[in-house]
Structure 1
Amino acid sequence: MKVHRFEQLLRSVVLAWGKTDQNGDSTRRGGPAWTPLLAHLLDVAATAGVLWDRHLPPHIRQRLTEAFGAGNERTARQVVMLLAALHDLGKASDCFLGQWQHGPGKSHLKAHAKTWEEQARAAGLPLGDDLAHAYYARHEHITAAALPRLLGCFCPECGGSSARHEGLHDAGALLGGHHGHIPNPETVDRARGAASIKQWGDVHAAIVQVVADAVGLDLGTVAKAVNPVRPSARVAFLYLVYLADWVASDTEFFHFRVHTTPVAHWWQAALREADQAVRARRLTRWQARPVTWEEMWPDTPSPRAFQADGMRLAPAEGQAMIVVESDTGSGKTRLALWMAHHLARTCGYSGLYMALPTRAAGNQVATELRKFLHAVLAPGEVRDMALVHGTAQATDLVHELVDAHQAHGDPLTDLSSTVETATCTDSGQAVLDPWYLRRCLALVAGFGVGTVDQIALAPQGSRHWALRLGALMCKVVIIDEAHAYELFQQNLLSAAVEWLAEGGASLVVLSATLPRSIRNELTSAWRRGLGTTGHDDGTQGPIMVVDHSGRISRDGPSPTMSTPQNS
C-alpha cells in the first residue's frame, strides 16, 4: 500500500468508532463521547502484551509460543498481541457502525452519532448509503471471515486459489468466539456479506498494518508462525483474548481517545494504561517465596509423618497429579496447600483453586486458605482471593475481603497500592477486588475456593467456557472430598482432568475413602491428557504422584486418627 494512499485511509480509519460513552465515564472526565475502534484495538494489544509478561505462567507461554511463534517467544508475543487486538476488526462494517444512530442506546448520545456520521463520511470512511438497513452479522463473525485473507491466506474462501491456511482460519474462528461462543463455518461464511472486500477491504488492511507496526511485527511472518493445533494452546489464546479485551474495556483505567490526536500518542497511552490496569487488578503470577512448614502453619510447627512422606514425594520439577487418601482430620488440606506452594515455586503457576462438593464446605475451607495466604505471601504482598459459587456475594467472608481491598487503597487515586510487594505490614494479605465478582471472572483471581462444578463444567460448551478453563490451566487445582461426587459429576470431572493435564496445570486430589475405580479413572484421564502412559514403579502407599512424564510413585504410611489437625 503506497504511503500517500495509506495516509488517506488512516484519516478515515480513525473515524470508525469502537465504543461509545454509555456510562458517562468519559464525559465526566471531560473526554469525548466515543473512542475510535483503532484506539480500542491498540488498548487490547498493549494489555495482551502486559498479561503475557506478568500474568501467564511459563507453561502457557510455551504452548502459545509453539502455536503462534513457531518456537520463537518474541514472535509469538507479537503475533498474539496483533491477533488479540484484531478481535474487533469486524466493527469496521456498516452493520456495526450504524448501531450508534439506528440501534438501541441512550438518547442523549444519538446527537453525537449524527455528528460522527457526518464527519466519517466527509473523511472518506466507506459507509453505505443506508446504515439503518445494512446487511447484518455480528462483528466478531465478520472478524472471523475477514482475518485469514488479511494475514496471508489465499484460499478460494479468501478470494485466491491457493491451499487453505488452516492455522489462520482457526485463529479467525477463535477470535470469532470472543463474545462467548466459537462460530461454526456456516455462520462465518454468512458474515462475509456484511463487509465486502470491495467496500471495507482497504480499511481492514490499514487497521491491521497500524497494529502490526505498533507491536513491531512484520506481517509477512504471521502466516509462517500461526499454527494452533494443540487444544490447550487454543484455549490459552482465547483466554488471553477474553482477559485482554475485558481489562482494556475498563474505563476506570483506559480513557477514550480524541480522533484528531496522533495514533502514536494512543499507543503510548495504551502501554501506560495497560500496565496500570494489570497492576491494579493484581493480574500477576504468584511469586511463591521459600517458606518452611513452621512458617506456613505456626500452630503445627512440624509436619506429621504422613505429611512428611508426601513432602518427600513431591516432584522436583514439572506438573503433577497428586492423590492423597487419608482419614478426616489427618491434615490432608494442609499437605495439599504445601504441595500447591511447592508446585507454584517449581512451575510458576499463577495461583490455586480449591474445589469442594458443597458451598458450605467451600465457605469453611476458605478461612483456612485465607490464613495460609497470610503466612506464605511476602510482607506487604496483597493478593485477590475469591469465593466461587452462586451465593458467594452473600457471605461474610466476601464482604470482609472486599472491605480489605477498599481499605488497601483505591487504584485510581493511589497506584502505589497496586505494587505486589511493599513494606506496610508484617504479613501478606488476602483481599477481593469487586471486579472479580463479575460473571466468570472469579476463577481469574489468583486464589479461589468454590464448588467442584466450576471445574467439571469448565471444558463444557457454556458461554465463556475458555475463560474458566484457561484460568484453571494457569493454576494448581485442588479437589477435596473427591469421593463425594455423583456419577455424572465424576464423568465430567474426568473430562476436565484430561484438559487440565493437557493444559499444563497441576492437580491435587484429596479423599478419605476414594474408591479404586474413581482413582483409576482420574489417573487414566490425567495420563491421557499428558499423552503418555508412563511407568508405575509398583510402590504402595496412600499418597500417589503422577509426574509430568506419567510415571506413578507412591509413599506414606496408613494414616491414623490420633492428634487431629485441621484438614
Structure 2
Amino acid sequence: MSPVLHDDESRPAFADGLSIEARSVWAKHDRDTDGWLPLWRHMADSGMVAGFLWDRWLPLQVKRTIAECLPAGLDDARRLAVWLATTHDIGKASPAFACQVESLADAMRAVGLDMPPLKQFVDRKLGPHGLAGQALMQEWLVERHGWSRPNTLQVGIIVGGHHGVPPTASDVKTLVDHPDLVRTPGCEDLWRKVQWELLDRCADVCEVGDELAGWRNVRLSQPAQALLTGLVIVADWIASNPDLFPYFPDAEHSHDEDRAESAWRGLDLPELWQPSEPTGSPAEVFASRFSLPAGSRLRPVQERAMQSARSMSAPGLMVIEAPMGEGKTEAALAVAEIFAARSGAGGCLVALPTMATGNAMFPRMLDWLKCVPDLRPQPGRRSVLLAHSKAALNDDYAALVRAGSRDVRGVDTDGGSGEWRPAADQSAAPAELVAHQWLRGRKKGMLSSFVVGTIDQLLFMGLKSRHLALRHLALAGKVVVIDEAHAYDTYMNSYLDRVLSWLGSYRVPVVVLSATLPAARRRELAEAYAGDACAETDLVAVAQALGYPLITTVEPDGRIAPEPVAASGRAIHVHMERLRDDLTVLGERLTQELAGGGCVLVVRNTVDRVLETAAFLRGLFGNENVSVAHARFVDIDRADKDSDLLRRFGPPEKSRQHRPTGRHIVVASSVAEQSLDIDFDLLVSDLCPVDLLLQRIGRLHRHVRGNDQSHRPEKLRTARCLVTGADWDTLPPKPVRGSTLIYRDHALLRSAAVLELFLSGTGPHGHTVRLPEDISPMVQDAYGNGTVGPSQWQDAMAKAAAAQELHEARQEEAAQYFQIREAGRAGRPLLGWVDAGVGDADDTRRGRAQVRDTRETLEVLVVQGRADGVWTTLPGLSEKRGGLELPTDAVPQPRLGRIVAGCGLRLPYQFSIPQVLDRAIEELERNYVPAWQSKDSYWLAGELILVLDENCRTRLAGYDLRYTSTDGLEVTRAE
C-alpha cells in the first residue's frame, strides 16, 4: 500500500511537471554541509510519513475522533491527515522565510521570486512560516475551492500550529497588516502562482481535490483539530531528520516511495499494539496475567470490575473504590485490556502521585505486558516509558533503554538537536519491550504505547504549554489509569477535572482507583468526564451512593451507574486510642508493647519529627532496633530504604526470613502511606486527614501471619493504632504546628471529630474501627458538610472551614491561570489555544509546580569533598558505590556520573523561602565544574552540586546540613 495513496502504482512523482519556480523554493538547509532540501521534497516526505503513521502506528481510537465529523469517515480522515502533513510547510514559500539562506534565496531570485536581503528584512519575524502557511491555506481554500473564510480557520490553524503554538487573533492581524511577509511587492503574482501550484500539487497527490468541496461545511471538533496538529508535528519531525531523509544533492534523484520506505525502516518504530479482548472468566484472566500468591482467590471487586467493563455499552469512566490491599491495580489493568480492545486504544498510561510510587508500579506493568496477547499474527515490540525526571536511574527502565538504543545520529529526543547516547548491549532486556530511542524526551516520550508516570504527566495535558497537541495525541490513544485519586488537593484536582473533560471528549477510557474517595469528589470526577451528557439526577445518585467497595461506571452517553460490591471477607478490627504527644510517654508505651518483641510503625507528619523521634527511641531501644524512612534521602539511599522495608516487613512469603525476630521500630514520614506493601504489628500515627490515617492503618496487620495472627507477638495480635501529634486536652484538640502547615486546620479538625467516637470509646463499637465497613462512612463524614464532633468544637471548626473555603477558592483561581479551556463547539478553531501559556512543560521541580500548588524547591546532587580537595561519591552507598573519587577536570565515566546523579536530593521547605532560595543558589553555584557541563556529561550537566565535608556536613544559606545514610539530611538553623 502506498503511504499517501491507496494502491495507485501509476501515480507520478510529486515533482513531475512542477515549474522551475516551484522547484526552486527551499525548506531545509544544513550549514555544516551546505546540503539543502527543496520544499516540494519535504512536502512529499511529510505526506509519506503521515501515511505510514496512520496505517501502522496511530490507534483506531484516535482515528475515530478525527473521522466522526467527516462525510466518508475513516477514509476521509486519512486523506485529511496526509494532506495536512503534506501542506504544513507551505508558509516556507514566502519571502520572510526564504531570505534566510542567501545562496538559496539567490537561486529563487534568479527565477523571478524576488525578496529583500535578510539584513534589510527587519519585520520578517512577524511572519513565521507556520502563520504564513495558515494564511496561504485559508486564502487558497477560499479562492480555489469556494470555502467560506470562517470555515477555513479550523483547517488553517493546524498548519499554523505545527511548531507547537497555534497563532492568536493578534498574530493573524499582524500578518494581514504586513502582506510583504507573504509576497514581495512587485512580484505578488509570481509568488501566488508558485504557492497555488504547490498547494494544487499537494491536493492532487493526496487525492483530496474532489473531497475539498465536500468538506466545505464540515465542522471539525476541537479534539480532532488537536489530534491532527499533533500528527502533523510528528510527521514533520520524522521527515525533518536528515539521517532518515538525506538532503540534496546526494538524494536529488531518489524516488518518493523508495525514500520513504527506507526512512521508515530506519526509524523502526514499534508498531501499533492491537489488543484482543480477554475471553475467559475473570478468574482465568487473572491467573493468566498476574503472578498471584499460591492459594489466593479472586476478590469480588476484581471480578465485578471485569464484568462491569464487559457489560458497558462502550468504554468510558470506571471509578473503583476498595480497601487497601484488595488488588485494585490488577483490576484496573484487566479492565484496561477490555477497554482497549473495545475502544481501539493503542496503549495504557498509569498515573501515580509520586516518583517512588511510579518506580514501584513500573515492573508490575512490565510483568503484565509480557502476558497480554496481541491480535497481530506476529506481535512485535512494544514501546514503554517510565515518565518522570529520574527515570534514567531506574534499573528496570535503564535495561529497556539499552534494548531500544540504536546508533542513529538524527533520532533525537524532541525533534531538534539533541542529547543522545551511544547504542549499548541489546541483550539487557526482552526484545519485545523496549524504550525506543526516538520515543524519548519530555515531548515525545508520552507517545510510547505503555507509560507509567507521575500524575504531573497527565495534568500537563491541561496546561497551556508548547507542543500541547503532542501530549493530547499521546493520551487520546490510550487507556488512562489514575491511582490514589484521593491524594490531590483543590489545585491539582482543578487540572485533573479539566483533563478528564478532554479525555471524555476524546472517548478515552479512564479507570480511577482509590481506597478513600470522598463522595463529592466521586461526583466531580463523573461530571468532569461526562460533561453535559449526564443528568443532574444521576450525579446526585453518584454523590449519595452507599456501599463499599463501590464501582461507578460512566458511559460516553452520560449513563452513570454506581454499584456496591461485596467485600472480600478480608476484615480487620483496629483498636483506636489517643496518645499524649510526648516522647517520654511514647517511649514508655512502646517499652510496654514490645516486651515480647514486635514490629512497630511510627508515622510522623514532618521529617523533623521523624528524626527527633528516632533519636529519642534509639536511646531507649538501641540504634540497631530503630530505623527511619522519609523523602530526605538521596535517591540511591531512598531506593535502598524502600527495598529494605519490603524485604523485612513485606508480605509473609517474601519477608519471612528477614523479619526482625525481636523488636524493631520504623519511624517514617508520609512515604509509608502509599504503594508500599509493608505490614506491622502496631501503628503509632500523628493526627492527619482521616483518609490518610486509613491509608496508614492499611500497613497494620496487612497480612495474616499464622492462624488468628498467632505468628505475631502475643500482646500485638490485636491490631491497635495510637493517635498522637495533638494536644488532646484542649477543645478542640490542637494539632502540632508542622501538621497544620501541611494539612491545614480544617482537614485535621474534621478528622479528629470523626475519630472522636473511636478514641473516646463512645461509638457503637467502642474503640474499634472495623475495616472495610467503616472506611467509607469515616471518609464521607470527614469530607462532607454535616456537623461532626462535640458541640464545644463547633466555633473553632466553623472558623477553620471558612478559612479552608477561602484557601480552596484561591487555589481554584490560581489553577485557572495557565489552564486550557474545555473543548469548545465543533468548528471553533483552536485559535490562541495556548496563548499566555508557560512555554514548555518541564518535568522539573519548577515544571511540576505548574500543576501543583507548591513552592519551587531546590534539587542538588550531593558529593563529599575531602580535605585534600578531591571530590568523592558519598560514603556508605550500597553496592560499592561509596567513596569513589570523582574527576573535576574531565567528564566522569558514565558509571560514576550515574552514581552522582543517583545522589539527587530535594532540599526541604526552608530552602523554598525566596530569599533563602536565592542565597542557596548563589552559594551552590560556587561549586560549578566546567568539565561537568560538557554536552558529553549526560548525567551531570546543568545540575547544582552540594559538597559536604569529610564529616558529611556543610553550611548553606544560613543553615547547617548533615547527611548520613542512616537518617538522611538533617537541617538546623546556623547559630
Matched, 1:342 2:341: no
Question: Secondary structure of the equivalent of 1:254?
Answer: coil
* 1:473 and 1:503 in contact (8 A); partners too: yes
- CA distance in 2 between partners of 1:496 and 1:543 (Å): 21
Query: Deviation of residue 366 (structure 1)?
Result: 0.9
Query: Deviation of residue 267 (structure 1)?
Result: 2.8
Matched, 1:319 2:315: yes
Q: Which of residues 282, 289, 296 is equivalent to 1:296?
A: 289
Shift in alpha-carbon separation, 1:478–1:489, aligned structure 2, 3 A: same
Which shows bigger deviation, 481-490 or 397-406?
A: 397-406
Give unpaired runs (5+ residues) of structure 1.
Answer: 1-5, 102-113, 156-161, 413-423
- CA distance in 1 between partners of 2:322 and 2:336 (Å): 18
- CA distance in 1 between partners of 2:332 and 2:201 (Å): 48
Shift in alpha-carbon separation, 1:492–1:556, aligned structure 2, 3 A: same
Q: 2:240 is aligned with what amino acid? A: S
Which shows bigger deviation, 323-332 or 529-538?
A: 529-538
Question: Secondary structure of the equivalent of 1:315?
Answer: helix
Question: Secondary structure of the equivalent of 1:440?
Answer: coil
Shift in alpha-carbon separation, 1:186–1:456, aligned structure 2, 3 A: same
* 1:326 and 1:559 in contact (8 A); partners too: no
Q: Which of residues 281, 289, 297 is equivalent to 2:269?
A: 281
* 2:142 and 2:148 in contact (8 A); partners too: no
Aligned to 2:174: 190
The equivalences for 1:126-275 within 5 A come to: 126-134=113-121, 135-136=123-124, 137-152=127-142, 164-192=148-176, 193=179, 194-196=181-183, 197-218=188-209, 221-222=212-213, 224-225=215-216, 227-258=218-249, 261=252, 266-273=255-262, 275=264
Aligned to 2:483: 480
* 1:325 and 1:512 in contact (8 A); partners too: yes
- CA distance in 2 between partners of 1:439 and 1:127 (Å): 40
Matched, 1:42 2:26: no
Query: Deviation of residue 154 (structure 1)?
Result: 8.1
Shift in alpha-carbon separation, 1:14–1:551, aligned structure 2, 3 A: same
Aligned to 1:361: 357
Which shows bigger deviation, 79-88 or 162-171?
A: 162-171
Aligned to 2:303: 308
* 1:388 and 1:443 in contact (8 A); partners too: yes
Matched, 1:119 2:107: yes
* 2:353 and 2:455 in contact (8 A); partners too: yes
Query: Deviation of residue 228 (structure 1)?
Result: 4.0
Q: Which of residues 417, 427, 433 is equivalent to 2:436?
A: 433
Tell me the alpha carbon deviations over residues 469-501 of structure 1, each in whole angstroms, 9 at most, x when there is no partner.
221111100000000011100111011101100
Shift in alpha-carbon separation, 1:36–1:334, aligned structure 2, 3 A: same
The equivalences for 1:371-390 within 5 A come to: 371-377=367-373, 381-390=380-389
Aligned to 1:542: 550
Tell me the alpha carbon deviations over residues 361-406 of structure 1, each in whole angstroms, 9 at most, x when there is no partner.
1111111111111121558632111111222233333311111224
Shift in alpha-carbon separation, 1:220–1:237, aligned structure 2, 3 A: closer
Query: Deviation of residue 447 (structure 1)?
Result: 0.6
Query: Deviation of residue 452 (structure 1)?
Result: 0.9
Q: What is the aligned residue count?
A: 518
- CA distance in 2 between partners of 1:62 and 1:352 (Å): 18
Larger radius of gyration: 2
- CA distance in 2 between partners of 1:469 and 1:72 (Å): 21
- CA distance in 2 between partners of 1:529 and 1:427 (Å): 45
Question: Secondary structure of the equivalent of 2:89?
Answer: helix
Tell me the alpha carbon deviations over residues 306-335 of structure 1, each in whole angstroms, 9 at most, x when there is no partner.
211211111355221011111221100011
Q: 1:455 is aligned with what amino acid? A: L
Shift in alpha-carbon separation, 1:226–1:375, aligned structure 2, 3 A: farther
Query: Deviation of residue 12 (structure 1)?
Result: 2.2
- CA distance in 2 between partners of 1:511 and 1:252 (Å): 47
Question: Secondary structure of the equivalent of 1:548?
Answer: coil
Shift in alpha-carbon separation, 1:255–1:7, aligned structure 2, 3 A: closer
Tell me the alpha carbon deviations over residues 112-164 of structure 1, each in whole angstroms, 9 at most, x when there is no partner.
xx2x3443333x15131434323411110101111111123589xxxxxx884
- CA distance in 1 between partners of 2:117 and 2:499 (Å): 48
Matched, 1:490 2:481: no
Shift in alpha-carbon separation, 1:223–1:361, aligned structure 2, 3 A: same
The equivalences for 1:400-411 within 5 A come to: 400-406=399-405
- CA distance in 1 between partners of 2:521 and 2:91 (Å): 47
* 1:140 and 1:176 in contact (8 A); partners too: yes
* 2:112 and 2:190 in contact (8 A); partners too: no
Query: Deviation of residue 261 (structure 1)?
Result: 4.7
- CA distance in 2 between partners of 1:170 and 1:438 (Å): 29
Q: 2:224 is aligned with what amino acid? A: A
* 1:76 and 1:225 in contact (8 A); partners too: no
* 2:47 and 2:83 in contact (8 A); partners too: yes
Q: Structure 1: which 4+ aligned runs deviate by more than 6 Å?
A: 409-412, 531-534, 536-539, 562-567
Q: TM-score, normalized by length of structure 2?
A: 0.49
Aligned to 1:15: 24
Higher relative contact order (CA 8 A, sep 6+): 1
* 2:273 and 2:382 in contact (8 A); partners too: no
- CA distance in 1 between partners of 2:536 and 2:345 (Å): 24
Which shows bigger deviation, 352-361 or 130-139?
A: 130-139
Shift in alpha-carbon separation, 1:216–1:8, aligned structure 2, 3 A: closer
Shift in alpha-carbon separation, 1:223–1:201, aligned structure 2, 3 A: farther
Shift in alpha-carbon separation, 1:499–1:277, aligned structure 2, 3 A: farther
- CA distance in 1 between partners of 2:57 and 2:521 (Å): 34
Query: Deviation of residue 516 (structure 1)?
Result: 1.0
Question: Secondary structure of the equivalent of 1:56?
Answer: coil
Question: Secondary structure of the equivalent of 1:353?
Answer: strand
Tell me the alpha carbon deviations over residues 243-294 of structure 1, each in whole angstroms, 9 at most, x when there is no partner.
21122223332222549956xx55323542464367x122524434647322
* 2:403 and 2:431 in contact (8 A); partners too: no
Shift in alpha-carbon separation, 1:117–1:366, aligned structure 2, 3 A: same
Which shows bigger deviation, 328-337 or 215-224?
A: 215-224
* 2:401 and 2:434 in contact (8 A); partners too: yes
Shift in alpha-carbon separation, 1:220–1:490, aligned structure 2, 3 A: closer
Q: 1:195 is aligned with what amino acid? A: V
Matched, 1:393 2:383: no
Aligned to 2:801: none
Which shows bigger deviation, 311-320 or 37-46?
A: 311-320
Tell me the alpha carbon deviations over residues 494-519 of structure 1, each in whole angstroms, 9 at most, x when there is no partner.
11101100111010000110111111
Query: Deviation of residue 346 (structure 1)?
Result: 1.3
- CA distance in 2 between partners of 1:237 and 1:324 (Å): 33
- CA distance in 2 between partners of 1:461 and 1:202 (Å): 38
Query: Deviation of residue 560 (structure 1)?
Result: 5.4
Tell me the alpha carbon deviations over residues 183-213 of structure 1, each in whole angstroms, 9 at most, x when there is no partner.
1122123224211253521111111122222
Which shows bigger deviation, 206-215 or 499-508?
A: 206-215
Shift in alpha-carbon separation, 1:534–1:60, aligned structure 2, 3 A: farther
* 1:98 and 1:132 in contact (8 A); partners too: no
Aligned to 2:710: none
The equivalences for 1:68-147 within 5 A come to: 69-101=70-102, 114=103, 116-122=104-110, 124=111, 126-134=113-121, 135-136=123-124, 137-147=127-137
Which shows bigger deviation, 482-491 or 44-53?
A: 44-53
* 1:319 and 1:548 in contact (8 A); partners too: yes
* 2:271 and 2:380 in contact (8 A); partners too: no
Give unpaired runs (5+ residues) of structure 2.
Answer: 1-14, 280-284, 410-426, 573-650, 654-674, 678-975
Q: 2:140 is aligned with what amino acid? A: L
Q: 1:173 is aligned with what amino acid? A: I
Percent identical among aligned pairs is 27
